Each structure stands twice: as C-alpha cells, then as structure tokens.
Amino acid sequence: MTSTTNFDKVFTTLSSQISSASKILATASAKNIVYPESKTLAGLQASYAYYSNQEIIATATQSQVIQSASSIAAQASGTLQEIYESNNLYGGMTPSKGGNLALAIIMGIFFVVHSGLGLWFKQWWFGTAFFCGCGLEMAGYIGRTLSNDNYTILNYFLVQIICLTIAPAFIMGGIYILLTKFIMIYGIKFALVKPIMLYSYIFIFCDVVSLVIQAAGGGIAAVSLVENESSLSGTHVMVAGLAFQVFSMSIYIFLYLHYFYKIKFFNKREHLKLESEFNPKYAELRSKRIFQIFPFVVFLAVIFVYVRCIYRVVELAEGWDGFLITHEVYFMILDALMMGLAIIILIFFHPGFVFGRNTKIPVKGLANYNKSKDQEEQAIVSSQGDERFNKNDELENENYSNDDSNDVHDHETKGVQEPDYYHEATDGNVQESNGYVDTRPNVAN
C-alpha cells in the first residue's frame, strides 16, 4: 500500500504542472500552442484524478467508497490511454515488432551483399545506388521496429517515413543505367532516343528531382509535426514527388519495351536473324544464357518497384489516418515484399555475374566511354607496334638465313653454271649483268 506521503509528493508536482499549463492556455491564441497544451492539461487533470482516487482506495475502509473510487480511477486511466493513443503518429496503428525486425535484418543482409558485390565486380554506379537504397530500407525498418515500443516518438516515425519513401529512388537509379548498357551491347541504331547518353541523363535527373521533392515533403511534414501543425502540405509535396517518380518510371518502361521490341527480343527466331546487325564486340556476352535471361529479370525488378510506388501514392493521398496506412498488412505486401523481391533478384542476377568482372560496357557520350575508347586505341596501337616489331624480326632472321644459305650454296655449286642474273667474272674483274653487280672473286673450276 502506497503511503500518504508519497501521494502528497505526486499531488504537489501535478498541481504545479496543472497551474503552469493553465497559465499558458489563458494567454495563448495560436493553434499550435493551444492544441498540445490542452491535451497536456487534460492529461495532468486525469492523472490527478487517478492518483486522488488511488489514495482513497489505499486509505478507505468502506467497500462502497472503495468501489466508487475504483470506478473514477478507471475512468481517469481510460482518459489517459485515449490521450496517449491520440498522439499515435501512425494514425492509430502500432507497427508490428516481429515483422519489422525481420525486415530490418533481411534488408541489412541485402545491404551487405550488394555492397560486397558492387566492390568485387567494380560496378560502381549500380553498387553505389544499391548501397544507398538497401541502407535506407534497413534504417526505415529499424525505425518502425523501435516505434512498436513507443509510437509517439517523432524521430522514429520520421526515420521510417523518410527512409522508406526515398529508398526506391536510389534502387531505380541503379536500374536506369542498365538500359544504356543493353543499348551498347546490342546496338545504338535500334534506340529511339539519340544520343543514348540521354537515357542516363534524363532518368537520373528525374530520379534526383523525385528524390528532392519527396525529401522536401518529408521535411515540411516533420516541421509541421514538431510545431503541432497540420502536416497536410508536406504530405501533398511527398505525393507529388512519388507521382513524378511513377511518371518517369512509366516512360522508362515504355522505352525499355520499345528497344527490346525493335531488336525482336521476344521472338527468338527473328532475334537471331538480327545477330549480324548487333555490336560484334559483345557477341560472346550475348551468347551467354544468363545474359539472355537478364533483360526479363531487370524488367521484373522495375515492375516490383513500380507497384510499390503506385501503392505509396494512393496510401499517402489518403492521409496519415487513411485505410491503407493504418492497416499494416497492405504495407507489408505492397511495399516491403515488392522492394525485397526487386533487390533479391538483382543479387542472383547481379550485373557483375551477367557481364563478368573484367567486362567494361562504357556508354557512348559519357566520360567513361571516351576513357575506355582511348585505352582501346592505345592497346590497338601497342598491339600493332608489337606485330610490326615481330614481323621485322622475322624478316631480319629470314634475311640472315638466306645469306647463310647462299654462302653454302656458292660453295656447294662449284663448277655449276651460275643463275642467269649473275654474269661470271674472270680474273677478279667486276662485271654487271641484269642490273646486279657481281663482286665475287673468281673461283677456279
């Protein structure tokens, strides 16, 4: 049983806090001050009522008094629970601990694997994009896991909403570059957009714009929540960023399918007929089975991310207390599962496995293409120089060999008539015949 002295300390503290909150409300007029202070005052009053009746229960002897005090204390406890739940940043939903913890671990594994593969295969652009994307996914699910214990902590909420919202932009940034690689492997003449470096520039630019808009929306929403104001404007900005991402992805899907339609990729017989028109430099790569599957894998990964982005647009458009955002099962299937599948299939079909560790596919028009071209030209010049050097050596050796054989022949053919281009000289005289000068000494028969 709690002593009366302990209750007195609680009452003193609560009375002071109630007095302070009342003074603030008496002079405040701004909504972002009145609203949170009203909730604070209501919570303090409910706490005071709860402890007051707990003291009665602790000291009363009559059952009727105890029963009445218990009822009032229960009502005060219910009020406190309602106030706490009204501060739920997830619209009344509590993120599951087990599911989000499992996803944090899975994304952490993907993060380590993609980082390692990117370094090993030297796929710098693709590896960096997936390093950032997988890292953000992992951080987002850590935030959701921590929110299970306290869904009113703003920092946990902001970590998960911002990280999980912008992570797919980095994943798509890595995927966008693959179309230009395919164009270089098969042939530039089949591309709809020229020069082909525009494929990289346009979609990476769109990715950056989408990323900036989404991050700005998240920042505006965060400031609004901190200041206890409506986060509607920030939400609208985030939706605009997601919608722009869906738009740019739609164009990418069209150009992707258009290119593979032009090279008859979906008709194997017709596709093989075009082999002579494809880039001969990558003929061996195109013959690999894993490469022939790779375009389907990349397209499937794009569709997974595409579904996720459409879901997010609809989810945030409903608001923070909408149906989709308050029912985690949809998030798990249409966000977590879609991103997980997109990331894992590009582990088994990593560009490094497909292209090979030492195969470089520079994109025409980009800096790495010009550097690669210079290196190839230097290698060709060096190779041609080596060939000329070797050929000169061979000619010199052949000449030496001919001279030696002629000397031997001269000695072995004594008394035999000389070839017609030599005119025999006598008494050591030098004579010329058929344009040749014979300076050999006279050899007696």
pLDDT digits (tens, 9 = 90+) for 6-27: 788 888 898 888 888 888 888 8
- Burial tier of 273 (Cβ tally within 10 Å: 0-12, 13-18, 19+): exposed
Q: Where are the domains of the chain?
A: 4-86, 97-365, 414-445
Per DSSP, 424 falls in state: -
**Ordered per-residue pLDDT tens for the chain, 445 residues:** 455 667 888 888 988 888 888 888 888 777 767 777 888 888 888 898 899 888 888 888 888 888 998 999 999 899 888 888 888 888 889 999 999 999 999 999 999 999 999 999 999 999 999 999 999 999 999 999 999 999 989 899 989 988 999 999 999 999 999 999 999 999 999 999 988 888 888 998 999 999 899 888 888 887 787 677 778 888 899 999 999 999 999 999 999 999 999 999 999 999 999 999 999 999 999 999 999 999 999 999 999 999 999 999 999 999 888 899 899 999 999 999 999 999 999 999 999 999 998 778 888 766 555 555 545 445 444 555 455 545 555 555 555 555 555 554 554 444 444 444 334 344 444 444 444 344 444 444 3
Residue-wise pLDDT for 120-162, tens only, equals 999 999 999 999 999 999 999 999 999 999 998 989 998 998 8
CATH of 97-365, one of 1.10.3470, 1.20.1070, 2.40.10, 2.40.30: 1.20.1070
> Which ranges of 63-196 does DSSP label H, i.e. alpha helix?
63-86, 97-121, 124-147, 154-186
Q: What is the pLDDT of residue 152?
A: 87
Instruction: Give per-residue burial for 62-101: e unless 16+ CB within 10 Å, then b.
Output: eeeebeebeebbeebbebbeeeeeeebbbeebebbeebbb
Decide if 116 contacts 350 (C-beta within 8 A).
no
Q: What is the pLDDT of residue 379?
A: 45
Look-up of token digits 């071209």: 373
